[in-house]
Structure 1
Amino acid sequence: MFGWHAALFPTGRSGMSRITVGAWQAAEGDPMQVVSGPIGRERIHYKAPESQRLDGEMKRFLNWFETAIPDPVLKAGIAHLWFVTIHPFDDGNGRIARAITDLALARAEGTVQRFYSMSAQIRTERKVYYDILESTQKGDQDITPWLLWFIGCLDRAFDGAETILASVMRKARFWESMAGQALNARQRKVINRLLDGFEGKLTNAKWATMTKASPDTALRNINDLIQRGILKRDSAGGRSTNYSLVVEILPKV
């Protein structure tokens, strides 16, 4: 765990501040607090245990983590909450808590191949995560609401992985269908952007910007794809003309 922490902060600094790296937080940091708000009107979200308690608290935590055999998903949820509540490092506690969570889930599955990330899902839901974490830490030691949220978050991580995998498969099948087409690098780049979910409307100007090409070259590339039946014009009118992939050629997943 000290190695993980040292890898997060190889310069010994968090931003502009020098921190204790690869060791529990030092006494001069007592009490470690999670604070938000302007100076003079700070809000204390959480106050961690004093530094003199950290070694004993972490020994108990690690012993439990390596020996306890509860339900594996519940174990991952409890481990995350327990570690982040001890808050043993000057910085990086949230990231290491997420790594511990992913480690516990990987051990439970008994495989090195995983197609979802609980860590990424927690980052996506960080506002709700911080709210439920704070209410649990300030509550009456009933961690049921936390575990219910954790299980729901894991379920949403599964759903997100299915969406990503479907997109990857759709993209792979599209390029399989294009195997006989001689496309240049600019065309492939823009088509990949469209397959990944291009925001807004594709115009000649955007094509030129993305591919670092001239407007004339962009228009030639676009017209070539239209002639092949890969792109279509969605609206006409000079600079307002925009384009999209032809739906009929997109593979269904």
Structure 2
Amino acid sequence: MEALGFALREEAVLNTLTEDVLKSSEIEGEVLDKDQVRSSIARRLGMDIGALAPVDRNVEGVVEMMLDATQHYDRPLNVERLYGWHAALFPTGRSGITKIVVGAWRDGAAGPMQVVSGPIGRERIHFEAPEAERLDAEMNAFLQWFEAKSNIDPVIKSAIAHLWFVTIHPFEDGNGRIARAIADMALARSEQSTQRFYSMSAQIRFERNAYYDRLEATQKGDLDITKWLAWFLACLDRAFMGADTILASVMVKAKFWEKHDVNVLNPRQRMMLTRLLDGFEGKLTSSKWASIAKCSQDTASRDIDDLIKRNILVKDGSGGRSTSYSLISE
């Protein structure tokens, strides 16, 4: 990574942070809009990525939490900071349509905090968290340990912090995402850097079933967390290997813009080509071009035809309404 120029390193960091936010939410079954996440991160980090997509406030909250954890890793983790993260995750005070306690520890009003699965009437209880009355003491102990100087390897500390926080389960919702943010904060502290080129959350999303199985087995067992630590470290190692994929996508983008003169393209074309290079979801049609670029169908068709003549885009399909377009492979 040291061989990368500043602009490419910045691009790689943006890609990594985008993956972190998207995949940490996907682990919990929540799918965020990639363009919104990327735009929100770029704006907050002062990166110029062209036209920025309008961003939903729920996306803003997730991004705000993740960036606070990784970009300000050297600031103390305390109760108020965790309350702020939780409030950012649930700006409406609701999880879906359910009203929840936001910006504070859960109370006992809804009964025991249980992690369950299965249909109503046949639920399977995977884990029951400590009672609400114990949360102040439990979280004070956790935060004192997290901030204390110790001889624990900082990567091991990240693994323990992840498990410990999610086991306390101090909030009504959002505990998994906050646990992963805390783990990322500990990893950033271990590296003494705000720049990372791997995504632990993306790797956990890929191994989600094993992740939940290992958490459940550890939480239901005795106090031996050796198998959890072994799994976490192995998962982290696989995340390191995934950094090659992030770097490859950055290099493809850099080579593309080296080959094609950006000055002969109009702003709409530059924006749409950037979308394609960043991993456009679905097929690109002239209708989608017109909608995203906020132009007429005729203008979209002219933009696309010009890129075909320049050997940048190629037509897919048999024509008509089903016609789509993709980048010509280098």
Contact 1:133 1:146 in 2 (8 A): yes
- Given candidates 196, 212, 225, the residue that maps to 2:307 is 225
- Distance verdict in 2 for CA 1:72–1:222, change over 3 Å: same
- Given candidates 170, 180, 194, the residue that maps to 1:88 is 170
Structure 1, unaligned stretches of length 5 or more?
none
TM-score under structure 2 length normalisation: 0.64
Tell me which amino acid in the other structure corresponds to 1:98.
R
Deviation at 1:141, TM superposition (A): 2.9
State the Cα deviation string for residues 221-251 of structure 1 (Å, max 9, x = none).
444334333345677x55477654343xx3x
1:209 paired to 2:285: no
Aligned to 2:116: 35
Deviation at 1:34, TM superposition (A): 0.9
- Root-mean-square deviation over aligned CA pairs: 2.8
**Structure of greater Rg:** 1
1:162 paired to 2:244: yes
Contact 1:132 1:146 in 2 (8 A): yes
Structure 2, unaligned stretches of length 5 or more?
1-81
Aligned to 2:189: 107
- Distance verdict in 2 for CA 1:183–1:47, change over 3 Å: same
Relative contact order, higher structure (CA 8 A, sep 6+): 2
State the Cα deviation string for residues 87-133 of structure 1 (Å, max 9, x = none).
11222211111111011111111112223332343344333221211
Deviation at 1:175, TM superposition (A): 1.4
Aligned to 2:160: 78
| Whole-angstrom distance in 2 between the partners of 1:185 and 1:178 | 14
| Whole-angstrom distance in 1 between the partners of 2:326 and 2:86 | 46
Query: How many pairs does the alignment contain?
Result: 244
- Distance verdict in 2 for CA 1:56–1:222, change over 3 Å: closer
Partner secondary structure for residue 109 of structure 2: helix
User: Between the two proteins, what is the percent identity of the paired residues?
Assistant: 66
Tell me which amino acid in the other structure corresponds to 2:121.
G
| Whole-angstrom distance in 2 between the partners of 1:15 and 1:232 | 42
Aligned to 1:153: 235
1:177 paired to 2:259: yes
Aligned to 2:90: 9
Tell me which amino acid in the other structure corresponds to 2:249.
S
- Given candidates 128, 138, 155, the residue that maps to 1:57 is 138
Aligned to 2:203: 121
- Given candidates 211, 216, 222, the residue that maps to 1:134 is 216
